[in-house]
Structure 1
Amino acid sequence: MLAVIGLVVGIILGLVLDPTLPAALQPYLPIMIVAALDALFGALRAYLSHTFSDRVFIVSFISNVAIAGLIVWVGDQIGVGSQLSTAVVVVLGIRIFTNAAAIRRAVFHA
């Protein structure tokens, strides 16, 4: 219940305050969102298999976002940012679909 309240408060604050992202961080936002989705799907999979740990989720969420952003930043520094962005999205996409398949099997027993 606390998570739902936090989500609602966060959405309301986002709509009221209308935060802007600095231009320097805008190229990294899509990659960070995909990394966050990977952590969320992993958490749902762990929850359904009764192995969920809030500490593991928080560490996974923060580290996934930071590492994905760091990889793309390093790619930008060496001139291959778009290639590394694609690589990060592919790897995280595979993980998301793997977790989604496990979630589907757990929910539908198929």
Structure 2
Amino acid sequence: MWLPLLGLMIGILVGLLIPVKIPIAYAKYMSVAVLAALDSVFGGLRATLENNFDHIIFLSGFFANTLLAAFLAYIGDQLGVELYLAAVFVFGARLFQNLGIIRRHLLKR
């Protein structure tokens, strides 16, 4: 349990010390990609609490969700449609659903 927390702390520290500036043209792509990645992370936490975690499923879902969300934003830009909003809606709803289930698991303990 301490290894993920250590990784999180190192990630936060690196993010604070080495700020990355993303061009405004890529902001849409990065926002949906980060939202999809967060959805996968919360899904992994939920699976861990349910004793159902599988590394292969987590990694494949993490990268597939992130790439799909960025691809939807790209296709939407090419078509002139705000298609990235579909990804924001779906991944946002799943994120809050997973967070609610995680909260219930933690409160039961």
Q: TM-score, normalised by structure 1?
A: 0.81
Q: Which residue of 1 aligns with 2:59?
A: 58
- For the Cα contact (< 8 Å) 2:49–2:102, is it kept in 1? yes
Where do 5+ consecutive residues of structure 2 fail to align?
A: none
Matches of 1:107 and 1:5 in 2, distance apart? 20
Matched with 1:95 is 94
Q: Compute the RMSD of aligned alpha carbons.
A: 1.9
Q: Corresponding residue for 2:16? A: 15
Q: 2 CA distance for matches of 1:102 and 1:7?
A: 21
CA-to-partner distance for each residue in 1:16-69, whole Å, 9 max, x for gaps? 332222444222111112111211111111011000122221221111111000
**Who is 2:84 aligned against?**
85
| Equivalent residue pairs, number | 107
Q: Unaligned 5+ residue runs, structure 1?
A: none
**2:38 counterpart residue number:** 37
Q: Report the equivalent of 1:48.
A: 49
Q: Which amino acid aligns with 1:77?
A: Q
Q: Which amino acid aligns with 2:89?
A: V
Percent identity (aligned): 38
Look up the equivalent residue of 1:92 and give its one-letter code. F
Deviates more, 1:36-45 or 1:21-30: 21-30
